Amino acid sequence: MSTIAKVFTVLNLVFSLVMVGTVGSILSKSEDYKAKYEAEQKAHEENVATKQKELDSAVSEKVRFEGTNRDLTNQIADTRTELTNATATADQLRNDNNQLRNSVDAMQASLKTVETQLSDLEGRNKALMDSNEQHRATAAKAEQDKLNAQDDRARLEGDLKRANEDIAAKEMQLVAQSNELGNLKAERDALVAAGVDIAALVGNAVPSIAGKVSAVGPGFVVLSVGENEGVKVGFPFDVYRGNDYIGRVVVENVLPDTSTARVQLKNKSGHEFMAMDTATTRL
């Protein structure tokens, strides 16, 4: 029962007592009624005392209830504050979650980009590996070519050495022939000075023809004499420059005024054929 109900109950009891008192006063003339009244009065007093105790208990309960109500009100205020804080925290967490979701989306996009780049790099790596294999094959072939070239070089060096030896031998032969030619020329000059007809004596079929070197090419010379001077294919011409012997050429092609002769023999001194050198069939 609430405190207000208890108060109304007490008031009703008081009102009842008043009514009882009124009735008692009316019936006071009767001793029985008086005794009954006294008994009821006593009971009423006892009831009033009981109700007073109940009222005091109700007041105490009200005070306790009001304290409890204040505590609950404070708890509700605290709870509302905590709820407000929790709502703010939830909003902050929601914002953080949205930012985190955006960051995750950005990271996923970046991851896709990285995966695409990684795929491209793997393709490039495969291409580089294939190219590397080709380069290795090319390098192996180049190394083999190098070894072959070294073998060819060794062979060519051997050929060059033999060629140099042949040249040295030919030069020695040329020196011997030049010396022999000098001796023969001296003998010819001595025989001519003595009045000996050398041509009639040896029966030389090559007439005495003298000319000049008109031009020089690789391995051949052009002479200033031809068919008009009696030059024929196969005629040898010795070439001089002053007192220096340059070498010997043999006619291969004859024209009316010129002829072409291949180089057959060179001197050992390194003199090269030049235009205006003297060329003759006779020493």
- Report the chain's mean pLDDT, rounded to a whole number: 80
Residue type, 144: Q
**d(C-alpha 177, C-alpha 283), whole Å:** 13
Which helix or strand (DSSP H or E) is residue 280 part of?
Answer: strand 278-280
Domains and CATH numbers, the chain: 206-283 (2.40.10.340)
- 240-249 long-range contacts (CB < 8 A, ≥24 apart) are 240/277, 240/278, 240/279, 240/280, 241/271, 241/274, 241/277, 241/278, 244/269, 244/271, 245/178, 245/181, 246/271, 246/272, 246/273, 246/274, 246/277, 247/271, 247/273, 249/220, 249/221, 249/223, 249/273, 249/279
Residue type, 115: E
Per-residue pLDDT of the chain (283 residues; tens, 9 = 90+): 678 877 788 888 888 887 877 766 776 666 776 777 788 888 888 888 888 888 888 788 888 878 887 887 888 788 788 878 878 876 886 887 788 688 758 878 877 886 888 788 788 878 878 877 887 887 788 788 888 878 878 786 876 687 467 546 656 665 666 666 666 666 556 655 655 445 544 445 689 999 999 999 999 999 999 999 999 999 999 999 998 999 999 999 999 999 999 999 988 888 899 999 999 998 6
**pTM passes above 0.85:** no
